[in-house]
């Protein structure tokens, strides 16, 4: 009899236990448990890894050789400021700081921010390299002369309107990915010592020259798209119009005009040895 009762209890208990197991598996884990990593669980040092999830993109480091090439392409020099948007493990900021540049990294992932600060300390450049945990789309980077980034094209295009409002002459250098239909001003691809993500692209924020100016009483009408422009001077078509920061050039009847833009005035010279000035209202 005792054996029969034990068997009956076992038969009744089995579906109850299975139901409890199913219920336990179906209930979502607390957020802390879902995001817990081996490093956090066992209090191990955080080490970033290629492909880890980020806010808008996974993290992939820029090759060290390209970091240096990006800084060279920007022609950055002491006294200038650099901001790296999506600074990851801090390598670009630290490389700039080693050159004596005041550099700031903006990164959304707090683990990466802490790691980058540690790396800057180890490199002995924490006085020049700063890092902050923030959203790049909510960050003011208007005080930088050089901006570096390694983001997807869609994110570059989201940033583009803000970048184009920066001070003319600000240099922007991207690893691999472009800015939509904004043509590059220069680019370099590493041939040796780099196996992936090996192209640096440069843009220089152009001054706004759109509209009608006056040169010796003649209208200089310019139609600008990014750093390129076309138009007429005194009704005659100009060619090869280009803006590089606050400098511009164009050709008219075989004569090259170069000039410097200062607000509503352009002052320059021609390849024929003359001087010219343009004004606009």
Residue 129 is assigned to a structural domain of this protein: yes
83 plus 186 within the same structural domain:
yes
- Residue 177 domain-assigned? yes
Q: Are residues 124 and 252 in the same domain?
A: no
Q: In the listed set 204, 237, 269, which residue is the last one of a domain according to the structure? A: 204
> What pLDDT score does 192 carry?
83
Shared domain check, 157 and 273: no
Q: Is 221 found in the same domain as 184?
A: no
CB 171 within 8 A of CB 184: no
Task: Give the rounded distance of the alpha carbon of 130 from its chain centre.
Answer: 16
pLDDT single digits (tens) 135-168: 999 999 999 999 999 999 999 999 999 999 999 9
Single residue among 139, 172, 204 that ends a domain in this structure = 204
Q: Are residues 173 and 265 in the same domain?
A: no
Looking at the structure, tell me whether residues 180 and 219 fall in a common domain: no
Same domain, 153 and 240: no
Residue 80 included in any domain: yes
Q: Which of 204, 226, 255 represents a domain boundary (last residue)?
A: 204
Q: Within this chain, do residues 175 and 105 fall inside the same structural domain, yes or no? A: yes
**In this predicted model, what pLDDT tens digit does every residue of 42-68 receive, in sequence order?**
567 888 867 677 777 788 899 999 999
- Are 236 and 177 members of one domain? no
267 and 196 within one domain: no
Q: Is there a single domain that holds both residue 142 and residue 260?
A: no
Q: What is the pLDDT of residue 21?
A: 33
Provide the Cα torsion 109, 110, 112, 113; round to 10°.
120
Domain span at 245: 211-279
pLDDT of residue 42: 59
Do 142 and 244 have their domain in common?
Answer: no
Domain count, the chain: 2
> Residue 39 falls within a domain, yes or no?
no
Could you list the mean pLDDT of each consecutive 10-residue stretch along the chain, which spans 281 residues? 41 38 34 43 72 76 95 96 97 98 96 96 97 97 97 97 98 97 97 90 98 97 98 98 98 98 97 97 92
């Amino acid at each position: 009899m005792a054996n029969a009762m034990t068997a009956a209890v076992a038969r009744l208990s089995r579906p109850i236990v299975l139901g409890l197991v199913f219920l336990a598996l179906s209930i979502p884990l607390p957020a802390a448990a879902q995001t817990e990593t081996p490093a956090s669980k066992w209090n191990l040092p955080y080490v970033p890894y290629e492909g880890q999830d980020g806010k808008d993109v996974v993290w992939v480091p820029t090759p060290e050789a390209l970091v240096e090439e990006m800084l060279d392409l920007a022609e950055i020099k002491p006294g200038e400021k650099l901001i790296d948007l999506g600074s990851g493990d801090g390598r670009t900021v630290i490389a700039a700081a080693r050159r004596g540049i005041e550099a700031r990294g903006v990164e959304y992932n707090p683990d990466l921010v802490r790691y980058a600060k540690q790396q800057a300390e180890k490199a002995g450049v924490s006085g020049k390299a700063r890092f902050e945990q923030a959203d790049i789309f909510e960050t003011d980077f208007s005080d930088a002369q050089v901006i570096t980034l390694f983001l997807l094209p869609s994110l570059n295009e989201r940033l583009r309107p803000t970048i184009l409002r920066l001070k003319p002459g600000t240099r922007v250098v991207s690893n691999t990915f472009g800015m939509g239909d904004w043509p590059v001003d220069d680019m370099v691809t590493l041939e040796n010592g780099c196996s992936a993500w090996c192209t640096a692209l440069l843009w220089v924020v152009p001054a706004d020259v759109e509209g009608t100016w006056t040169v010796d009483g003649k209208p200089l009408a310019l139609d600008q798209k990014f750093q390129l422009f076309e138009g007429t001077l005194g009704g005659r078509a100009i060619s090869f119009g280009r803006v590089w920061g606050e400098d511009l050039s164009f050709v008219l009847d075989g004569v090259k005009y170069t000039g410097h833009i200062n607000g509503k005035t352009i002052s320059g010279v021609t390849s024929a040895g003359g001087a010219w000035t343009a004004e606009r209202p």
